[in-house]
Amino acid sequence: MIDLGGITDILETYKKYGWLLRRVLISEWLRNELGGDIRATFGGVPIVPSDIDAAWFSRQPQEGPTAWEIRHLSVNPYALVEHVDESSADFEATLADVEGRLRRAVRRNL
């Protein structure tokens, strides 16, 4: 299981490489483990209750659609990236699809 230090390391690494934290999916279990003010931990981005623990990051490309990457919040690094048009009507559905793929991959490896 991951702890606050591990999560902080992930966030700092993504920031170092130009990724912007956009939203966090958090299970009730991890929310309880982290305690305190988790909004401060994640810089005030939206925190969504979920059955998986993950962070969404984005990074602007020089041209073309924006890269969005979902990183499973665990000690074992696993992430999926999708290039999406943020103005598309299918934007949220695309992110939901990627979340589903992450969920299935994580469950296979438990």
Each residue's pLDDT expressed in tens, for the chain with a length of 110 residues: 788 999 999 999 999 999 999 999 999 999 998 887 788 889 989 999 999 999 999 998 888 899 999 999 999 889 999 999 999 999 999 999 999 999 999 988 75
Where are the domains positioned within the chain? 4-108
Q: Pairing between strand 20-26 and 79-84?
A: unpaired
**pTM of the predicted model as reported, rounded to 2 decimal places:** 0.92
DSSP letters along 24-37, please? EEE-HHHHHHH-S-
